[in-house]
Structure 1
């Protein structure tokens, strides 16, 4: 039956007598290997289980407050804010922080980061918005002398690429620590980085306020209001009055 479904010629039988030519490498459909940085911990002088970590007294009070937000059967749900709290205290989510809070999570810094942690969004809206995120990446590379995934020699800046940060309308943008800086240009990002570096070493240095760096307040049209101009909204005119339906003429 098998021979009728898959006929084998004499030539094929003859070839079986001879070994396959060398070099020969078998085909393998092995699963894709994920990044070692995210999946595997390797002890380092700055990140190993022998370095102790305990929450400070102040943060222990915050731990109690955080745990109160979760029902008794869902206390494990507090792993995210607790890891964040540990990262804020220690500077990064070391293996000791993780051992104190949880066993594994990939969305935290597993190695030390600089005083200013830059996360540049390079997804489609930021690539298309304004001057485009590629121009911002190039400007950061030139100004800091590093590429994404690295820290400056002075330890001030760590710089990575990330997925969408949810400020698409003000693209291109970058998150620095907890702040969003939006509507960036190559010139404005360099000015911002210079100010941050000076602020780290000089008291009183003024750093641009977070938000759009083009002068607009939030995410309004940069050309001004262009729609929904008339009629002006007014609760008295836009809302139906009481008994309005009763006053409708009979059909």
Structure 2
């Protein structure tokens, strides 16, 4: 099923097509990796809704990315509970380890580092979201171990892709 068909199927579940904007944006982001202006306009056109409604949601929620992000998007909570548990120290450490500032992406495209207002997981403070996964009770050692695991996972994925792309003996 192509993106248009998936958005149409999602919209059919709602009494008002405007209610399908968020599911449609998720579909489009999965298809394109992020949501640049032309993709947002396409989503609005498919749903037959005002473009501004689509732009409002896409730019309000940290779930949506209007700019390209790395393979691993590290979103560190900087709300009160996390700040009281030293998330600011973790941010500085991540900036040093990754060699980028908040909002940046590593030159290899592996990591994008962001802060978010609240991940709704105060019981795990400080917490960071990576993709769909939450990582809590973070400290420097856990951050370093997580970054190492993500780097290793990226290396394994790249190796597997190369093995498929280049059959043995060629």
Correspondence 1:36-51 to 2 at 5 A: none
RMSD: 1.9
Q: Distance in 1 between matches of 2:21 and 2:138?
A: 34
1:30-56 Cα offsets, whole Å, 9 max, x none, are xxxxxxxxxxxxxxxxxxxxxxxxxxx
Q: Does 1:116 align with 2:60?
A: no
Any conservation in 2 of the 1:117–1:177 contact (CA below 8 Å)? Answer: yes
Q: Aligned residues, how many?
A: 145
1:54-88 per-residue CA deviation (whole Å, 9 max, x = no partner) reads: xxx244443233112211xx211111110111011
Report the equivalent of 2:93: 139
TM-score (norm 1): 0.54
Higher relative contact order (CA 8 A, sep 6+): 2
Q: Give the corresponding residue for 1:155.
A: 109
- Structure 2 distance, partners of 1:180, 1:88, is 19
Give the Cα–Cα distance (whole angstroms) in 1 for the partners of residues 80 and 149 of structure 2.
Answer: 28
Partner of 2:33: 91
* Bigger Rg over Cα: 1
User: What is the SS of the residue equivalent to 1:202?
Assistant: helix
Q: Distance in 1 between matches of 2:3 and 2:41?
A: 17
Separation in structure 2 between the aligned mates of residue 59 and residue 109 of structure 1, nearest angstrom:
17
- Please tell me whether the aligned partners of residues 139 and 190 of structure 1 are also in contact (alpha carbons under 8 angstroms): no
In terms of fraction of residues, the more helix-rich structure is: 2
CA distance in 2, matches of 1:65, 1:125: 40
Take 2:140 and 2:106, find their aligned partners in 1: how far apart are those partners?
19
SS of equivalent to 1:158: strand
C-alpha distance in 2 between matches for 1:58 and 1:100: 13
